[in-house]
Amino acid sequence: MTEGIVASIQFRSIDGPERVKAIWGHALLQARAFVCLAIGFGVIYRNKVLHGKPHFVSLHAKFGLATLILSTLLPLWGLVSFRRLGIIQRFPERLQPVIKMLHRRLGLLTWLLALATIELALPHPAVNKGLLTRAWQAGVAVLGALVLLLGWKSVPGHAAHKGGQPDDTMAKTV
């Protein structure tokens, strides 16, 4: 999922056919992340069924379920917001930038939920490895902070973003 987020940040400055290619690359990365998420969900769900344990009780499980739901819906939202497919043009023009912006923001929220889900799982007795677990948690937190910083610097209007010049309000034409 992280690679998909980074790819989406990077293609904000690209236009034309290269941007279309980069968007499809982003979609492929996110599809791979979804497959991993779905397999993980299926395995743990089956394990709970086999052992007669309740589902979605822990905070980790609730965050994981929210991540799974958003990870299922957001690719569909991404397809809607991809101008090349022509779906977004069916919405009023004033809503099109909002649709694209919400896809980006909800994508970031989904990624943050995935990171939180990982963090919540690490201290569990079945996973906890002492100092190694704390190092893993720190690594996840650092990764989160670095990607958020990268994303923040690409926000239109931010001084580090093209000298503070506003970006295309339609988030490019593709």
Structural domains of the chain, count: 1
- Is residue 173 one of the residues assigned to a domain? no
Domain of 20 in residue numbering reads as: 2-164
CATH code for the domain of 103: 1.20.120.1770
CA–CA distance, 106 with 172 (Å, rounded to integer) = 19
- Is residue 110 one of the residues assigned to a domain? yes
- Is residue 118 one of the residues assigned to a domain? yes
Encode pLDDT of 63-92 as tens digits.
Answer: 999 999 999 999 999 999 999 999 999 999
Encode pLDDT of 133-143 as tens digits.
Answer: 999 999 999 99
- Is residue 131 one of the residues assigned to a domain? yes
- Is residue 174 one of the residues assigned to a domain? no
* Model pTM score: 0.80
- Is residue 93 one of the residues assigned to a domain? yes
Q: How far apart are the first and last CA of the chain?
A: 22
